Structure 1
């Protein structure tokens, strides 16, 4: 598990249109108005879809033993592994890692549950004198705003500041999640991971 809002009327777009004085019918003008209306409709539909995607009930709860097989399957997904620049563990190694390294005193680990479904995990730990945070969302749940909301809520659970996160340079989505939650890049030059993957360090709070 190494390394894983909308604003607006607030969040909306308001168009105020004053009709021009009528003179004579004009096909070009009508076409212009129709195009304008279509643009407004597209914006409205986009905002509605975004609201629908982000409208869900989330809880962060303590990790149970029953969650581990779900987490194991999440970390077997090839695309998720590529984005996280992470190597999958075999089942026994994965279970041992979680039970002995992740779920130990000093670490904070939470299961992310959305609408009653376990969708991933998030946690923090100390390493080489630095407090780190990481998360993992099952790929089938990407693109719904879950990571941003989970991290935002987790920051209320983890009091340590500064808080750091390593993220692969090619993982633009996770970089955006961290930025939305107030993290900024610490290292100006990406660091090379042992596997040859460039990573950047991001931080929340002052040193």
Structure 2
């Protein structure tokens, strides 16, 4: 029986280190790490990702799959719920680092099953809602920049698209501190706070300066 950490990294490599370290600090002994880099959790199903495919092949009955939170599996409600149910059906236990949640398909008690399934649905729905809210904010920032005609760019931001996405990604969990995000991304604490307070404006600066 193995304990496998799955990490989806849409930004800098440091995020993978952060996820692994966070899992170990929570008491998990990781036997293997599987990670996908630069892959959208909303538009690409887990089994369609390069390493996600390998994860489906690796997991066996009695294994434990560890994720920082369910949004690492995806940000699409249907994909996440289907994935967790399939793994549970195989006899795999899914555990989250954040909130220390455990999803085990072995229970036969109807009340426990109902509570478990409700939690899975809630967490998957929350992951998708957070993604959609972030995208809406980003679109608003881009449109604001266009309307202003980019007449005043302001000071060039110290972050680019990758580091901005890293900040938004970690803020989305609701549990990672501003100081920890700053350490992981290499940005100042003040920069992270500015992004947190007004993500639309931060997105507008990226659009205005044409930062990749």
TM-score by length of 1: 0.25
TM-score (norm 2): 0.25
Query: Higher helix proportion, which one?
Result: 2
Q: Which of the pair has more CA radius of gyration? A: 1
Q: Which has the higher strand share?
A: 1
